[in-house]
Chain A
Amino acid sequence: MSSLRSSFEAARARNSALLVGYLPAGFPSVDGCIAAAVAMVESGVDVIEIGLPYSDPVMDGPVIQEAVEHALQAGVRIADVFATVAVVAKTGAPTLVMTYWNPVERYGVERFAQDLAAAGGAGVITPDLTPEESGAWTAAAQAAGLETVFLVAPSSPVERIDKVAEVTTGFIYAASTMGVTGARASVGVRAHELVDRIRARSTSPVAVGLGVSAPDQAREVAAYADGVIVGSAFIRLLIDAETEADGTRAVAELAGELAIATHQPR
C-alpha cells in the first residue's frame, strides 16, 4: 500500500481524520515554500500538496491567484516544483502535486509522472481533468506508482461520483461549496451531504477542501470526512508576513491548531 493510502488507513483505525496542507511552489520563494511546508509537517500536518503555479488558475480565488502570480513572475519552473517535493517528501509526509492539466500535457504526461515519482512524490491532484479525458494520465500514474486524486462537487450527481471514484486511487477530493478556493466564514452543509453521498458509492478516503481555514471548521469537517484540506488560510499568512521567517512561524502556529482540531478522535 502507498504511503498516502496507508496514512488514511491508519487515521481510520484511530477514528480520526488527516490534515492536508496546500502551498504553491515558489511562494513566497522556492526556499520559503519549502521551509513553510516542512514547518507544517513538523506542526502536525499529515499530507502536503504542492501547487504547480499556472497562468490561468480558473478554480482559484484571489489569495492563491496572488501567490501563484508572484511565483510565476519570479520565474518558477516545473523543476522547482519537483525540487520542492523532493525536500518535503523527505519529512515522511506523503507529498502530492496539485496542478491544472495543461502544464502536465506540455511537459509530457509520462515524463511528468516519472519525474515526480523520482522526486518522491506520492500523487497528483488534477482539478480540471475530467474522468473522460484522464486515460493517458491514469495509465502514466499507474506505471509510475503515483496516486490519482480527482474532485467532486456539491453539484455532482451519483453517476459523476461513480465516474470519479473509478479513476481515483488516492482519495476523493470533495469540494465543500460551489466556488473557487479561498477562506470562508463557514463550511456549507452541502459538504457533509456530499461526503455522505460519496460514502454510499465508494470506499475511497474522502477529504474536504475549499473554504476550510479555522480550527473550529476543521473540527466540524473531521467529524465526518477522512481528510481536511487547508490552503488559502496558510497562504494568507505568508502574504501578510513581513519576513519569510515570520510567515513560516505563523504557518506553523496555525498548522498546530488545525492539527489538534483535526486529529481529535471522533
Chain B
Amino acid sequence: MTNTTPDALGHFGPYGGRFVPEALISALDELDAAYQVAKVDPEFQTRFQNLQSTYTGRPSPLTDATRFSAHAGGARILLKREDLNHTGSHKINNVLGQALLTQRMGKTRVIAETGAGQHGVATATAAALLGLECVVYMGEEDTRRQALNVARMKLLGAEVIPVTTGSKTLKDAINEAMRDWVTNVDNTHYLLGTVAGPHPFPVMVRDFHRCIGLEARQQVLDLTGQLPTAVAACVGGGSNAIGIFHPFLDDEDVQLHGYEAGGDGVETGRHAATITGGAPGVLHGARSYLLQDDEGQTIESHSISAGLDYPGVGPEHSYLNDIGRAHYHPITDAQAMQAFAWLCRTEGIIPAIESSHALAGACLLGQELGPDAVILINLSGRGDKDVDTAAAWFGLNGDGQS
C-alpha cells in the first residue's frame, strides 16, 4: 500500500512540513484544527456535497473521446470533464471547501493567488456566494495573458491586484498573498489554490479534490468493467493531478503519469518542469522539488500556460516521484498546442492549455501502450480563457488561415 498520510507535521517522506514566519503558525494550526473537525462533521460534509451537486454540477461526466483516440495510438481515451464544472475548471472543488471553512473560522475576507485566473475566478465566485470580501493577487504578466479572467473576477466583485515584483507571474503572486496574510491574518483566510504551501494545505486541498478520482474510478469501472491502464493529468502545483491520482494509489497496476510544462524544452532552461528539471529545496512554506540555481535562488519558470508557469510543485508529488508510484514527464509548449488543436477538431472541446499538456502526454503514452490500453485523462479546465493565446499561436488573428 502506498502510504500517503502525512505525519503530524505534514511530511510526505522528506517533503512538506512548514517553513513559514512564526506569525503564520497560529493561523495554520487554527486551519488544521478547523479542517480536522469539519472533515468528520456530517453538517459540513452535507453542505459541501450539496454545493458540489447543485452549484458546481458534480459529478462531472466521463467522455469517451473516440475520434481523439487516433492521435493516441488508438488507445481508448476517457476524459474526466472537470472543464464542465461551474467556473470552468477543477479549481472550484477546493475553493468551495476552503470558503466554507473560512466561514466556520469566523473570518470575513479571503485572499488568493492566481496564475491562469481559474483559481482567482473560482475564489471570487465562492466569495460572492458566501458574502466574503475577496482580494486576488495575479502577476502582471498573467493579467495580460488571461485578461478575460481578470474581467470575470471584477464582475464577481473581487479586487484584482497586479503583482509587479520578480517574474510578475504566479510565484510572485504567492509571495504577495503571503505578505498580505501575515499582515491581516486576524480576519483573513489565505485560500491557496493548489497542493503546495505549508501544512495543512497540501493534504487539505488534496482531500477537497479527491472527488475527481473517486468519481472517475467508478465511472471507468461502470463503462469498461475494469480499471484504466493509466491515469494522466497536467501538473502545475499539482492539485488536479493529485485529485485524480489519489483514489488510484493502491491500484498498483494502474500507471499514474503527471505532465509538467516543458516550455521551450527542458534542455533550453526555459520551462516549468519542476520534478523533471528541478531539485529538492524549500519554497513557499514546504520542502519539495523546485527550480533553483546552485545557491538556492528560485529560477523563473517559463510556459505558454499561465496555470503551469510555477517553479514549485506540491510535496506529495515529490514523494510519489521518489518512491516511483507516479511518473512525471515534460510536455513542450508546441506539443501541448498540437494536442489542444486535435481535441478542438476531433471532439468539439476547447481545452485549457494547462489540460492540453495532459492530452499531449496521453497521446505519447497511447502510442507506447497501444490500442488495448484505456487512458483516463483529467481534462482539468476549458479553454475559453486561452482563446487569445491560441489564436496568436495558430496565427488566426489576421487572415483567418490556420
A residues with a Cβ closer than 8 A to B are: 54-59, 61, 65, 69, 72, 77-78, 101-107, 127-130, 132-133, 150-157, 160, 164, 175, 178-180
Contact = CB atoms under 8 A, between A and B. Distances in A.
Contact of B19 (A128, A156, A178): A128
Interface of B: 9, 17-23, 25-27, 165-166, 171, 175, 178-179, 182-186, 281-285, 292, 294-298
B284 A56 contact: yes
Nearest to A181: B179
B182 A164 contact: no
Contact of B23 (A56, A105, A129, A178): A178
Contact of A102 (B9, B182, B294, B296): B296
Contact of B283 (A56, A127, A156): A56
A56 B166 contact: yes
Interface centre among B18, B20, B22, B186 (most CB of A within 10 A): B22
Contacts of B281: 102, 105-106
Contacts of A107: 295-296
19 contacts: A54-B296, A56-B171, A56-B283, A59-B21, A65-B165, A72-B297, A102-B281, A102-B282, A103-B296, A103-B297, A105-B281, A106-B292, A106-B296, A150-B22, A156-B25, A175-B23, A178-B23, A179-B182, A179-B183
A136 to B, nearest CB: 11
Given A55-B166, A157-B26, 19 more contacts: A59-B179, A78-B295, A101-B282, A102-B292, A103-B297, A106-B281, A106-B292, A106-B296, A128-B285, A130-B18, A130-B22, A132-B18, A152-B22, A153-B22, A156-B23, A160-B25, A178-B185, A178-B186, A180-B179
Contacts of B179: 58-59, 61, 179-180
Given A55-B298, A77-B295, A156 B22 contact: yes
Nearest to A128: B19
Contacts of B165: 65, 69
Contacts of B285: 128
Residue with the highest number of chain A CB atoms closer than 10 Å, among B165, B166, B175, B179: B179
Give the most central of A61, A103, A164: most B CB within 10 Å.
Answer: A103
B139 to A, nearest CB: 13
Contacts of A59: 21, 179, 182
A179 B27 CA distance: 13
A129 B184 CA distance: 21
Contacts of B17: 130, 132-133
A242 to B, nearest CB: 25
A106 B295 contact: yes
Contact of A164 (B22, B166, B185, B298): B22
A129 B19 contact: yes
Contacts of A55: 166, 297-298
A133 B282 CA distance: 11
Nearest to A150: B22
A84 B12 CA distance: 38
B12 to A, nearest CB: 14
Nearest to A53: B297
A104 B296 contact: yes
Contacts of A102: 281-283, 292, 296, 298
B315 to A, nearest CB: 13
Contacts of A103: 295-297
A152 B21 CA distance: 8
B22 A106 contact: no
A108 B165 CA distance: 28
